[in-house]
Structure 1
Amino acid sequence: MSIAERYQRLRSRLSELGGAGVRLLAVSKKQPVEAIAALADLGQRAFGENYLQEAVPKIQALQARKLEWHFIGRLQSNKCSEVAEHFDWCQSVDRLRLVEGLGRGRSRQQRPLQILLQVNVDGEVGKGGARPEELGALADATAAHPSLVLRGLMAIPAPDPDLGRRSTAFAALAESFRQLRSAHPQMDTLSMGMSEDYPEAIAAGSNMIRIGTALFGARV
């Protein structure tokens, strides 16, 4: 199946789910520039990358297309300035040091960097993401920085063949989003759901899904 066929099938499925207002983020890690360009030719504008070293050459090669680039990988504090320089969004902010580093790294000549706070919604040991009780301080710090814009929350639930348990995690994140939004009403983005579980995520309130395999096919 071609990229065009996968893209149209996914768009049709989103319509069936009532997801007309759901933003599609194409996860393009390990994909060549040509595949990203082919998807962009179909109208896809937002792309997510996990690895800085891989992403920057792609961003530079496709600069004329004016695409929107999201950093969605685990972020080290010493990489903040490069992420702030090259990306439009960062979806993996989970500690204050990253807020400070991204804010310092974002040039005043650039538009503010759009920020999602990553939540460790299942409490997995060693996994990225803030604990729910840490979100208030992170949100306050992000919203106060002139070079950053707090847009919402992101999570990657623990892999589980039981989609019911993933749905429970999605519901917990949606509740954290509602609570935090009462103090930060500008928040408008809840990023959850990937190729294998996006219908459940949308049912729980997601308005941004991160799709790789269902668009590009399985990586070899």
Structure 2
Amino acid sequence: MNECQVDGAAIIARYDAVVEKIAEAARNAGRNPEEVKLIAVSKRHPAESVRILNNHGQLDFGENYVQEALAKQEELAEHTINWHFIGHLQSKKAKDVAGKFALIHSIDRLSLAQKLQKRMEMLPVSGLDGERKVQDILLQVNIGDEAQKSGVDKDGLFELAEQIMALPQLRICGLMGMPPASCVAEEARPFFSNLRMLRDELATRLGMPLKHLSMGMTQDYVQAIEEGATFVRIGTEIFGPRPY
């Protein structure tokens, strides 16, 4: 099957199974399933796969690569989609993502946030009252203390959050994190618990609500939900192996 031949029935069947597993995990944790939002990670999958799921009712899709994401946005412009940027973001790409995603999950340094703010200042005002657009963001935390992984160190999180709060067109909505790749299922749980506690501590110190925790992927989203995830990012279990 080539890129243009998408097995829509299989994608929908896998998607429906994932939605039920998310709901079950939430209920088992004493949570309302509506508190947990599924982000279907569509990176490297064709726009047609996104179209199929969107027509089936899925609204939130995650992309890791800027140019691929923008191309899909253009191709699917007639669809109602909440696009999430979940990959590592280079500062030079800030100009390309500002105002084009419902939520950017991977802000991890002040220089990137400043570039994003400058680009937001260049966007036209919205509405009759001339309000400036605001970009919702999550702060990515390096919860595994891995030298090769993006994310602000836990010790630097509060300082970064305070600095970004001074940027008027960026709004911090919570935290994102990924455990080490070697930690799956129950091994990932302590990292999710730690991220939740960091979020709660940060919200208290900043004196503002931080609603979201973006954590959990195909191999560990059940544990993430049990530890408080509000966004889970699932690709392979829905779309199948990524075509290369």
TM-score (norm 2): 0.86
SS of match in other structure, 2:35: coil
Task: Give the match for residue 215 of structure 2.
Answer: 192
Whichever residue aligns with residue 13 of structure 1, its letter is: K
Task: Give the match for residue 79 of structure 2.
Answer: 65
Task: Give the match for residue 70 of structure 2.
Answer: 56
Task: Give the match for residue 36 of structure 1.
Answer: 50
Whichever residue aligns with residue 109 of structure 1, its letter is: V
- Are positions 1:92 and 2:114 aligned together? no
Render the CA deviation track for 1:38-93: whole Å, top value 9, x for unaligned.
01011111111101111111011112213111111111111111111432211110
Distance 1:24 1:130, change over 3 A: same
SS of match in other structure, 1:166: helix
- Deviation of 1:177 (Å): 0.5
Contact 1:88–1:113, Cα closer than 8 Å, also in 2: yes
Contact 2:184–2:219, Cα closer than 8 Å, also in 1: no
Contact 2:99–2:135, Cα closer than 8 Å, also in 1: no
Q: Distance in 2 between matches of 1:49 and 1:155?
A: 16
- Deviation of 1:161 (Å): 4.9
Q: Distance in 2 between matches of 1:139 and 1:184?
A: 12
Whichever residue aligns with residue 163 of structure 2, its letter is: A
TM-score (norm 1): 0.94
- Are positions 1:155 and 2:177 aligned together? yes
Task: Give the match for residue 8 of structure 1.
Answer: 16
Whichever residue aligns with residue 203 of structure 2, its letter is: R
Which consecutive unaligned segments of at least 5 residues does structure 2 have?
1-8, 28-32, 127-132
Contact 1:45–1:68, Cα closer than 8 Å, also in 2: yes
- The percent of aligned pairs where both chains have the same amino acid is 37
Distance 1:66 1:141, change over 3 A: farther
- Deviation of 1:6 (Å): 1.1
Q: Which has more radius of gyration?
A: 2
- Deviation of 1:196 (Å): 0.8
Contact 1:150–1:186, Cα closer than 8 Å, also in 2: no
Report how many aligned residue pairs link the two structures.
220
Task: Give the match for residue 77 of structure 1.
Answer: 91
Q: Distance in 2 between matches of 1:120 and 1:95?
A: 12
Contact 1:70–1:87, Cα closer than 8 Å, also in 2: yes
**Corresponding residue to 2:153 among 131, 135, 141:** 131
Which consecutive unaligned segments of at least 5 residues does structure 1 have?
none
Task: Give the match for residue 36 of structure 2.
Answer: 22
RMSD of aligned C-alpha atoms?
Answer: 1.5
- Deviation of 1:10 (Å): 1.1
**Corresponding residue to 1:179 among 201, 219, 222:** 201
